[in-house]
Structure 1
Amino acid sequence: MKQQRMTAAEFRREKAKPKRNKFGAKRTVLDGQTFDSKAESDYYAVLKLREKAGEVSGVEMQRPFALIGPDGLLIATYRCDFAFWDHVEDRFRVIDVKGVETPVFKLKQKLMKSLLGINVEVVA
Structure 2
Amino acid sequence: MSKYNAVKTSIDGFTFDSKVEGEYYLKLKEKQRTGEILAFELQPKFLLQNGFRKEGKWIHPIHYIADFEVTYPDGRVEIVDIKGQTTQVFDLKKKLFYAKHPDKTLKLLKKVNKYGGFIELDEYARIKKEEKKNAK
Query: Which residue type is aligned with residue 8 of structure 2?
Result: R
Equivalent position to 1:93, from 78, 102, 125: 78
More off after superposition, 74-83 vs 28-37: 74-83
- How far 1:75 sits from its partner (Å)? 5.0
Percent identical pairs in the alignment equals 35
Question: 1:82 matched to which residue of 2?
Answer: 68
Query: Which residue type is aligned with residue 71 of structure 2?
Result: W
- How far 1:68 sits from its partner (Å)? 3.4
Question: 1:9 matched to which residue of 2?
Answer: none
Where does the alignment leave 5 or more consecutive residues of structure 1 unmatched? 1-19
Is 2:94 aligned against 1:115?
Answer: no
Moved over 4 A (4+): 72-75
Mapped to 2, the partners of 1:37 and 1:44 lie a distance apart of: 11
Where does the alignment leave 5 or more consecutive residues of structure 2 unmatched? 53-59, 111-136
TM-score by length of 2: 0.68
Aligned residues: 102
The root-mean-square deviation of aligned C-alpha atoms, in Å, is: 1.9
Question: 2:15 matched to which residue of 1?
Answer: 34
| 2:38 partner SS | strand
Mapped to 1, the partners of 2:3 and 2:49 lie a distance apart of: 30
Mapped to 2, the partners of 1:84 and 1:47 lie a distance apart of: 8
Equivalent residues of 1:23, 1:100 under 8 A apart: no
Question: 1:45 matched to which residue of 2?
Answer: 26
Equivalent position to 1:58, from 39, 58, 79: 39
TM-score by length of 1: 0.74
